[in-house]
Structure 1
Amino acid sequence: MKIQNGGCVVILIILVSILRESYSISYRNFEKFFKNITGGKNINLRPVLDHKSKVNISIYFHLIYIQEFNEVEGKLSLTGYFNISWVDQTIPWNSTENGIEQFTLQEHIIWKPSFIIGNPYDGVKLIYRDENVIRVQSNGVVTWTTGDNYEVFCNADVSRYPFDTQVCNLEILPWGYTNEEIVVVPIFDFVVHEMLNPQKTWEFIGSSVTKRKDLQLLTYSMKLKRHSMFFVFNLILPISMMIILNIFVFLLPTESGERVGYAVTVLLAIAVFLTISSENLPATSIPRLSSISILLFADVCISAFIVIMVILSSRYYHRKREYPVTKFMRGFVNASRIVRCKMCCSRRKKEKYSAKEKEEEIEWTDVGKEIDMVCSIFITVVILIVNALYIIDVAV
């Protein structure tokens, strides 16, 4: 029994010694292998055995977050990373000999392509970070994953603000190499967004990738749609309420003396909204002015017209009776009454207006009241038309 136990102990010691020796050899072999693979390489030379051969570079962009889109400055800030891969013909090894299939190393040890952003917002920017690593496989495939915050220029089209949809581009092209040296190949025809975090203002609704062969330029187009409910409740609806309140100025009694002040107050309120909206829009009219700016300008013009008509109607209303009503004003009052009565008045009221016309009982107060009536109807129709045109423009 003692001999058997002693034999087991001896066998166990031998196995442990073998395992330790194999681990040590494996580590030393890997260190030697790493030096052989990376030693003596010139990172400035393309990794091809024939200098006339081209290096095919596959690439795709993974979008992680849309930080900001500033329409006024035309700046789009993105967070994401590029996955770039190519074949290094000077690296491949037989993985069955040493059991090493792949490893990682710092990006400054072997050759890698240089890329720049084609439409940077501020200065030329290289796609490069010192802390990035490169993964190398036994078949020579090298994968370089580099991520960063990218700021690109995007000319916003705010013609349908705040119901607008923007198409912004992220352009990338090789730097320092010709078409005879490298070929850039997009892996996907869209922007990968599996890990995209939702943005509060913009919604990512689509993308595409195009290539310009003469420059090896890849363009990643991203379609963004604005979340408009905030602007509807804080801009569109208040503007609509302001313009509707304009109509009620003609219902105020002229004797109150508040009509002009009321009309001017509403005009100033609309002008304030016009200032607020202009601060959020770029100073451009290409391809055309924003619909909301046109709507606000129309509302300002309507409000200014209302102020003028309120002043005129008040002047006629308070004119002294010693000044006779002119023939033109009599005709205006009679024509207005006839037209309105034909549309909505009862037969008895029509007879009443006809009797008034025959007895010539029209006074300046009647002129002021009739101006208010005609203006209220006219302004209501104009407001409905203007708002209907705005709705059609942003909806179609």
Structure 2
Amino acid sequence: MAGNSTYKTNLNADLLDGYNPSVHPGRDYKRQALNINVTIALTKIQSFDELASSLTITGILKVTWIDERLLWNPRAYTHLTSTHFKQKEIWIPPLVLSNSYHNIDLIGESDMPVTVTDNGEVQWFLPLKLSSSCDADVTYYPNDEQICSLEILPWGYTQEHIQMTYLVSELNGNEYVENPIWDLIDTSQHSFKAPKLGFEMTFKFKRKPLFFMVNFIMPTILMSFINMLVFLLPAESGERVGFSITVLLAIAVFLSTITTILPQTSTPQMALLCYLLVTHIGQSLLIMLCTIFGLRFYLRPTEEPVPRWISRLASLFSACEKISIVHPEPENTVSVLTSEDTEDVCKENGNKTYENVVTWQRVGRAFDNVCCVFFAVTSVTCNVAFLAVMSS
């Protein structure tokens, strides 16, 4: 490129003499539509708001076409091979983002520079910041993947007037800067089928789950296991009910925190994490009820006899212990066996069922053992199933 500002000023004035920016280029509208080449260079996924259902990206839109009214001979202008115009001075395809999150306006600014070469090629390189509507799918939150698209249309024109060609089948990601929350997995673009004119850019990105796993998932799973430790607390401590209520409230707080950062929708499905938290809340309620129910065994009067069927169940879930057990005598008297006598009874009876009636304390311990094992198995099953579904 040679010349100076004087020659460039004369060139621009000559090219714009009689030029109408409202008329689109074309030598013969009937025989051939105007061909427009499009390339997108994505630079960054600026943000994705699940609650607002909006995606914001930044990138560079590269659009080229031939305007036969902007041809010139470089020798007549000291070998000038290119010049610049403002966007408002020449014809520009009126592109709009049809699924815009905000108002639908024309892309570009009127004072943006446009490059024109001596063969009439117009090069419109435009930095973009676009926000589109995109419904979030948080089924597998925080290990979720999102697919969003941007639809760009040449407003006011049909396929009889212009054709849009894509120089690359995938978006150019060479200048892409990683987002701290989302990993870009795949990008693509395709044109719409007739009669719709325009093209669609599709983005597939996945959340980086480490932060959410450490701050949400792991505490929730740990609390579900801490919850069952209530059955290991001595009943005499008086802290069982308070402990179970505290864990229940902690899980409820986590559920309320999760619901504030997720969209309030059930389409396509509510987050599996919410189901896990609701399951843990239900489990905590059952543990609290079992805790209250189990304390009734410990607080029963020692002279109150234990029903035979409860005694047999307690014997099934607890081994022979060196404890005192109550044995009813035929004469309606009660004799207390020592620990040595208990060992003899166990040895003599072996696997046989004896008619000893255990104390309520032993019934309470057997009930605690059953509840602890049952809720441990339930917690492991729920958490392992959740993690397996998330990882798949």
**Do Structure 1 and Structure 2 share a fold, with TM-score over 0.5?**
yes
Query: Counterparts in 2 of 1:114-133, with a 5 A limit?
Result: 114-133=94-113
2:28 partner letter: D
The CA distance in 2 between the partners of 1:176 and 1:263, in whole Å, is 66
Question: What are the superposed Cα offsets for residues 79-134 of structure 1, whole Å, 9 maximum, x if unpaired?
Answer: 22211111112222232443121111111111111011121112313212123111
Residue 19 of structure 2 is matched in structure 1 by: 41
The CA distance in 1 between the partners of 2:198 and 2:16, in whole Å, is 31
The CA distance in 2 between the partners of 1:274 and 1:349, in whole Å, is 52
Asked if the contact 1:129–1:146 (Cα under 8 Å) also holds between the matched residues in 2, the reply is no
Residue 117 of structure 2 is matched in structure 1 by: 137
Deviation at 1:314, TM superposition (A): 0.4
The CA distance in 2 between the partners of 1:353 and 1:66, in whole Å, is 74
Residue 89 of structure 1 is matched in structure 2 by: 68
The CA distance in 1 between the partners of 2:197 and 2:301, in whole Å, is 83
The CA distance in 1 between the partners of 2:349 and 2:289, in whole Å, is 28
> TM-score scaled to structure 1, two decimals?
0.86
2:205 partner letter: L
Residue 50 of structure 2 is matched in structure 1 by: 71
Residue 372 of structure 1 is matched in structure 2 by: 368
Question: What are the superposed Cα offsets for residues 331-368 of structure 1, whole Å, 9 maximum, x if unpaired?
Answer: 321333479xxxxxxx9997489689514131222221
SS at match of 1:135: strand
Closer, same or farther in 2 for the Cα pair 1:290/1:29, shift >3 Å?
A: closer
Alignment equivalent of 2:128, drawn from 131, 145, 148? 148
**Residue ranges of structure 1 left out of the alignment (5+ in a row):** 1-21, 340-346
Alignment equivalent of 2:80, drawn from 100, 114, 117? 100
> TM-score scaled to structure 2, two decimals?
0.87
Residue 344 of structure 1 is matched in structure 2 by: none
The CA distance in 2 between the partners of 1:157 and 1:146, in whole Å, is 31
Closer, same or farther in 2 for the Cα pair 1:140/1:45, shift >3 Å?
A: same
Alignment equivalent of 1:266, drawn from 243, 247, 265? 247
SS at match of 2:12: helix
Higher helix share: 1
Query: Counterparts in 2 of 1:292-307, with a 5 A limit?
Result: 292-307=273-288
**Residue ranges of structure 2 left out of the alignment (5+ in a row):** 321-342
Asked if the contact 1:338–1:350 (Cα under 8 Å) also holds between the matched residues in 2, the reply is no
2:269 partner letter: R
Q: Does 1:289 align with 2:270?
A: yes
Alignment equivalent of 2:36, drawn from 44, 57, 64? 57
RMSD: 2.4
1:389 partner letter: A
Q: Deviating runs (4+, > 6 A) in structure 1?
A: 347-350
The CA distance in 1 between the partners of 2:69 and 2:155, in whole Å, is 22
The CA distance in 1 between the partners of 2:283 and 2:98, in whole Å, is 47
Asked if the contact 1:165–1:226 (Cα under 8 Å) also holds between the matched residues in 2, the reply is yes
Asked if the contact 1:132–1:145 (Cα under 8 Å) also holds between the matched residues in 2, the reply is no
Query: Counterparts in 2 of 1:195-344, with a 5 A limit?
Result: 195-214=175-194, 215-337=196-318
Question: What are the superposed Cα offsets for residues 248-277 of structure 1, whole Å, 9 maximum, x if unpaired?
Answer: 111000011100100110111111111111
2:158 partner letter: T
Question: What are the superposed Cα offsets for residues 294-332 of structure 1, whole Å, 9 maximum, x if unpaired?
Answer: 111111111111101001000122112343323442232
1:88 partner letter: D
Alignment equivalent of 2:389, drawn from 386, 389, 393? 393
2:49 partner letter: N
The CA distance in 2 between the partners of 1:337 and 1:101, in whole Å, is 95
The CA distance in 2 between the partners of 1:351 and 1:135, in whole Å, is 101
Asked if the contact 1:49–1:90 (Cα under 8 Å) also holds between the matched residues in 2, the reply is no
The CA distance in 2 between the partners of 1:260 and 1:160, in whole Å, is 34
The CA distance in 1 between the partners of 2:229 and 2:262, in whole Å, is 31
Asked if the contact 2:306–2:357 (Cα under 8 Å) also holds between the matched residues in 1, the reply is no
The CA distance in 1 between the partners of 2:286 and 2:56, in whole Å, is 44
Closer, same or farther in 2 for the Cα pair 1:91/1:131, shift >3 Å?
A: closer
Question: What are the superposed Cα offsets for residues 119-166 of structure 1, whole Å, 9 maximum, x if unpaired?
Answer: 111231321212311111111110112223211111111111111121
The CA distance in 1 between the partners of 2:219 and 2:344, in whole Å, is 42
Asked if the contact 1:66–1:199 (Cα under 8 Å) also holds between the matched residues in 2, the reply is yes
Asked if the contact 2:190–2:200 (Cα under 8 Å) also holds between the matched residues in 1, the reply is yes
